[in-house]
């Protein structure tokens, strides 16, 4: 079982992110969702690249669980942040979160493709398992067990992460495509050094 045994370059932020992530994992479990870690933290855990930053957490969950999780967060006082696709960007959300002074902000994407949960400079994305990860709309099965600071969850496997990066690269444009290519190269370089 994989464990969080080392820290990235932004260790202080990473430790606060883990505590926030544990809150969201508990909420997911209370709604019958077993979140699957992917994204930059999975990249870090697979490569051990201590020179990288992990700025947010990304989890895959079934889209059918997202409305209940969203409503539970609203009942706990989270405020909805309206994201206009095409004109709202991540910096807009993060500025609003800083102005919210410790309050939780939520973004819900159309058709329950995902929700974003932000508190201050901490961000957790809950993305639809099937739409995010596969082109053929079948849930993936290539996961590894992870001890997320005492919570047993699953994490995308290294081959699964490589596949996800390829899918994301194929769908991106412009600066995002270049950013994705840098991530892919960094991951492969880290694995060669390992």
Mean pLDDT of 151-160: 93
**Amino acid 140: pLDDT:** 64
Mean pLDDT of the chain: 87
Quick one: what percent of the chain has pLDDT higher than 70?
92
**Amino acid 169: pLDDT:** 79
pLDDT digits (tens, 9 = 90+) for 122-150: 999 999 887 766 655 555 678 999 999 99
For every residue of the chain, DSSP letters joined together read -EE--S--S-HHHHHHHHHHHHHHHHHHHHTT---EEETHHHHHHHH--TTS----EEEEE-GGGHHHHHHHHHHTTPEE----TTT--HHHHHHHHHHTTT-EEEEE-GGGSEEEEEETTEEEEEEEHHHHH-SSS-----EEEEEETTEEEEEE-HHHHHHHHHHHHHH--HHHHHHHHHHHHHHHHHHHH-
Burial class (CB in 10 A: 0-12, 13-18, 19+), 99: exposed
**Amino acid 86: pLDDT:** 66
Mean pLDDT of 86-112: 79
Evaluate if residue 117 carries a pLDDT over 90. Answer: yes
Nearest to 22 by CA among 117, 101, 100: 117
Per DSSP, what are the bridge partners of residue 3? 147
Higher pLDDT, 89 or 62: 62
Q: pLDDT band at residue 165, thresholds of 50, 70 and 90?
A: confident
Higher pLDDT, 143 or 178: 143
Evaluate if residue 109 carries a pLDDT over 80. Answer: yes
Burial class (CB in 10 A: 0-12, 13-18, 19+), 122: buried
**Amino acid 89: pLDDT:** 67
pLDDT digits (tens, 9 = 90+) for 22-38: 999 999 999 999 999 99
Q: Are 60 and 134 in contact (CB under 8 A)?
A: no
pLDDT digits (tens, 9 = 90+) for 35-75: 999 999 999 999 999 999 999 999 999 999 999 999 999 99
Evaluate if residue 81 carries a pLDDT over 90. Answer: no
**Amino acid 139: pLDDT:** 59
Q: Domains of the chain (ranges plus CATH)? A: 2-128+144-156 (3.30.460), 158-189 (no CATH)
Measure CA 46 to chain center: 15
Nearest to 104 by CA among 127, 121, 79: 79
């Amino acid at each position: 079982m994989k464990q969080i045994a080392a820290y990235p370059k932004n260790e202080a932020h990473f430790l606060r992110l883990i505590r926030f992530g544990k809150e969201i994992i508990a909420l997911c479990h209370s709604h019958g969702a077993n979140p699957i870690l992917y994204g930059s933290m999975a990249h870090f855990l697979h490569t051990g690249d201590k020179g990288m930053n992990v700025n947010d957490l990304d989890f895959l969950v079934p889209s059918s669980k997202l409305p209940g999780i969203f409503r539970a967060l609203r009942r706990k006082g989270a405020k909805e942040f309206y994201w206009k696709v095409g004109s709202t960007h991540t910096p807009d959300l993060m500025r609003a979160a800083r102005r919210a002074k410790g309050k939780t902000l939520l973004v819900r994407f159309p058709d329950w493709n995902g929700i974003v949960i932000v508190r201050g400079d901490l961000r957790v994305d809950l993305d639809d398992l099937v739409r995010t990860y596969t082109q053929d709309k079948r849930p993936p099965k290539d996961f590894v067990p992870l001890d997320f600071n005492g919570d047993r969850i699953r994490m995308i496997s290294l081959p699964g992460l490589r596949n996800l990066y390829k899918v994301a690269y194929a769908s991106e444009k412009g600066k995002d495509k270049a950013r994705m290519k840098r991530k892919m190269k960094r991951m492969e370089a880290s694995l060669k050094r390992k």
